[in-house]
Amino acid sequence: MSLHLRAVTRTDLGLRRETNEDEAYASPRLIAVADGVGGLPAGEMASAAAIATMSSLDSERAPEGDVLTALRGVVDAASGRIAELVAQDPSFTGMGTTLTAMWLVDDRFAMVHIGDSRGYLLRSGELTQLTRDDSYVQMLVDTGAITAEQARVHPQRSLVSQVLQARPAQPTYTVLRPDPGDRLLLCSDGLSDVVTDEQIAQVLRDHLELDDCAAELVKLALGAGGPDNVTVVLADVVADS
């Protein structure tokens, strides 16, 4: 069975930011979101470089070998591109970005994740978070120091433990098997920090049209104060006829 994605992206500056450091990409084979890390120089350049490099997957043929090996090569190239930007202008030292991307190859997804942007799957009406935040508060949750509810309002909830930078990092790589009818959401923390998983699931279930669904998610983030840039990538898995 051959599959493809029907996908859209939507982004908003938010209500408290002067620049948008988010970047996103969507095509029938690839979805990705990147969030330039606030507080580091040229975050918007880092996220743009990551997404531009990842988009090259759209022009690549299905790899004959391990799909994750091919994906790692492109992610390493994105890190290399960030390194080139730093070499051109040392004031960019420390620039970085989150990256969450899903590449559809035949009947499987190769997925990469680093940082605190998120990936979700809605299957048969049930929402599952596919990613684990690389963040300080997630570490506290994992050790039982705080609850997930407390993490949502923790003053250091935006402190990430690793991002894609010029120096080596350790992204998480996963292979997933999609089903026709699956709905996927990738988002920056401008959504997930202020909109609960329950609210997200309800919107994904209630709004069948992707454009309407994406608009409603952004609206919820803005209605919750819009403290950060908010970007969503939505995709439905479709079987080719």
Is the pLDDT at 54 greater than 90, yes or no? yes
Enumerate the β-bridge partners of residue 194.
none
Tokens of 129: 């978070």
Q: 25: Cβ–Cβ under 8 A, 6 or more apart, which residues?
A: 9, 31, 32, 33, 51, 54, 55, 101, 233
Q: What is the pLDDT of residue 1?
A: 72
Domain at 3-239: CATH architecture: 4-Layer Sandwich (3.60)
Burial of 231 (0-12, 13-18, 19+ CB in 10 A): buried
Buried b (16+ CB within 10 A) or exposed e, 200-222: bbebbeebeebeebbbbbbebbb
Average pLDDT in the 199-224 region?
98
* Cα distance between residue 118 and residue 35, in whole Å: 11
Average pLDDT in the 114-122 region?
97
Query: 155 or 196, which is more confident?
Result: 196
Contact 112, 175 (CB under 8 A): no
Q: What is the pLDDT of residue 61?
A: 79
* Lowest pLDDT segment from 43-52, 69-78, 93-102, 155-164: 155-164
Average pLDDT in the 188-192 region?
96
* Cα distance between residue 47 and residue 81, in whole Å: 11
Query: 229 or 147, which is more confident?
Result: 229
As a whole number, the mean pLDDT across the chain is 93
| Res. 39 pLDDT band, cuts 50 70 90 | low
Query: 20 or 241, which is more confident?
Result: 20
Q: DSSP secondary-structure letter at 177?
A: -
Q: What is the pLDDT of residue 209?
A: 98
Q: What percent of the chain has pLDDT over 90?
A: 77
Tokens of 220: 């919820």
In the chain, where the domains are located: 3-239
| Res. 133 pLDDT band, cuts 50 70 90 | very high
Q: What is the pLDDT of residue 38?
A: 62
Query: 31 or 136, which is more confident?
Result: 31
* Cα distance between residue 136 and residue 155, in whole Å: 11
